[in-house]
Amino acid sequence: MYTRLFQIGAFRNRSVGQARVLFDNHRAAIGKKAAWLYLVLGLPGVGAIYRRFLLLKICGLKNLQLEALMDREKPAIVLHPTVLAGVYINDIIDVCRARKTPVVGIMNSRDNASIKRAVVGHFDWILVWGPQTRDYAIRYACMKPESVARFGVAQLDLYHTEPRVSRKKTCASNGIARSTRLLLCAGSSKGSDEFQHLDLLGAAIENGELPNVTVVYRPHPWENAAKTAAG
């Protein structure tokens, strides 16, 4: 129900520029039938009635486990690492708001504040990666500028540590000459055709566009790598 509320809002704002790109993205994700339904439900008057109907239903469905957890722990503040979507994010915001408990969202990835955002409520503060995601949080998540902090990328902190395996050992264990340039290819998304990417890299190596290069490939954790392995 929270997602429906968000989608109706997203479909109401479908002007040019980035808003149009986001509208097209959401429409492709949910399909034509659902897209037409949300367009109708977002019409003036109809949207207000349906939104009120959903909010009344939501208010009648209390998250009793979350309420009990808050009663037991009595937190002074709640920190929520988040992709700005998911089952419990709006419940957390609502429960914290009712209890006057500050809630801080810590953004998980670069696209959370734009494409993946499905939040109906608002955090007290949100920690984002950098200038672009700060702008997205203000423009698309409707956060106040003073409540959005550039906090860096926690996932990339590991690159500040010394590697456990040297380049020399990597080359030796994979039978690669030390003079060869390594191109590290990490799988990017479960929805992409990673085999096609590798095929393009292989063609570039064979025709001399990437001379003296060996590709070291790591599939995306969610990728079905049967096709890639066969190739």
The reply to whether the predicted model has a pTM over 0.85 is: no
Burial of 31 (0-12, 13-18, 19+ CB in 10 A): exposed
Asked if 88 contacts 113 with a C-beta cutoff of 8 angstroms, the reply is no
Asked if 129 contacts 152 with a C-beta cutoff of 8 angstroms, the reply is yes
Under the banding of pLDDT at 50, 70 and 90, the label for residue 229 is low
Residues 54 and 70 in one domain: no
Residues 73 and 141 in one domain: yes
Whether the predicted pLDDT of 127 surpasses 90: yes
Give the domain-ending residue among 19, 38, 59: 59
- Give the chain's length: 231
Q: Which two tokens stand for residue 52?
A: 């009120």
- What mean pLDDT is reported for the chain? 82
Q: Give the whole-angstrom CA distance, residue 191 versus residue 198.
A: 15
Residue 205 sits at φ, ψ, to 5 deg, of -70, -45
pLDDT computed for residue 99 by the predictor? 92
Q: Which residues contact 173 (CB under 8 A, 6 or more apart)?
A: none
Residues 96 and 138 in one domain: yes
User: What are the tens digits of pLDDT across the range 153-172?
Assistant: 877 887 788 888 888 888 89
Residues 138 and 168 in one domain: no
Q: Give the whole-angstrom CA distance, residue 112 versus residue 136.
A: 9
Q: Which two tokens stand for residue 154?
A: 């926690």
Report the percent of the chain where pLDDT is more than 70. 87
Domain harbouring 90, CATH code: 3.40.50.2000
Q: Give the whole-angstrom CA distance, residue 104 versus residue 161.
A: 27
* Lowest mean per-residue pLDDT among 124-133, 167-176, 180-189: 180-189
Under the banding of pLDDT at 50, 70 and 90, the label for residue 209 is very high
User: What are the tens digits of pLDDT across the range 96-113?
Assistant: 988 999 999 998 887 777
Q: Which residues contact 195 (CB under 8 A, 6 or more apart)?
A: 227, 228, 231
- Structural domain of residue 12, as residue ranges? 2-59
Residues 148 and 173 in one domain: no
Bigger pLDDT: 112 vs 227 = 112
Q: Give the whole-angstrom CA distance, residue 42 versus residue 5.
A: 9
Q: Give the whole-angstrom CA distance, residue 188 versus residue 190.
A: 7
pLDDT computed for residue 38 by the predictor? 78
Domains identified in the chain, total number: 3
Give the domain-ending residue among 153, 182, 207: 153
